[in-house]
Amino acid sequence: MPHIHEEIDFTVVVYIIHQGKVLLIYHKELQKWLPIGGHIELNEDPEQAVYREAKEESGLEVEVYGRKPPFNSDTFQSLLPPIYLDIHRINAKHRHLGMVYFARVKSGDIRLNEEEHDAIQWFTMN
């Protein structure tokens, strides 16, 4: 997805954990291993972006770790909070504000998104 704003975009990252392993993709453009993630689109909230990115980039349905505050009304919706936030420079004029989540596999089998990635693989700490 192209940048929405010329100076800063909001993004999500999701570390998908399964049986003591974490799922990473090898990004074609950046030429490095990264967790699943991407831009939050204008028509979605961060929580929706996490589920969409997980499905688009891995084929997996996930369950995000965390708890939503119990406050909801007709005009207010609680969202799962990220584990942490970061801000990182993409180039001299553009930054991403990243919302980082952890999730577990709910269903599905991993599949490679060949448009964006060269590989997808489960990794252990060792």
For the stretch 82-122, pLDDT in tens is: 999 999 998 999 999 999 999 999 999 999 999 889 999 99
More confident residue, 119 or 126: 119
Binned at pLDDT 50, 70 and 90, residue 2 comes out as: low
Instruction: Using the CB atoms, write b or e for 12-50: b if 16+ within 10 Å.
Output: bbbbbbeeeebbbbbbeeeeeeebbbbbbeeeeebbebb
Instruction: Provide the 8-state DSSP code for 56.
Output: H
Give the number of domains in the chain.
1
CB 99 within 8 A of CB 37: no
3 within domain boundaries: no
pLDDT at 43: 93
Task: Look at residue 3 in the predicted model and tell me its pLDDT.
Answer: 62
Does some domain include residue 1? Answer: no
Please indicate, yes or no, if residue 39 is contained in any of the structural domains.
Answer: yes
What pLDDT does residue 72 have? 85
| Whether residue 11 has pLDDT greater than 70 | yes
The token pair at 105 is 């596999």
Whole-number pLDDT of residue 117: 92
> What are 21's two structure tokens?
């392993």
The CATH number given to whatever domain includes residue 53 is: 3.90.79.10
pLDDT tens-digit series, residues 25-58: 999 988 999 999 999 999 999 999 999 999 999 9
Q: What is the pLDDT of residue 69?
A: 84
Predicted pLDDT of residue 125: 78
Domain assignment of residue 60, yes or no? yes
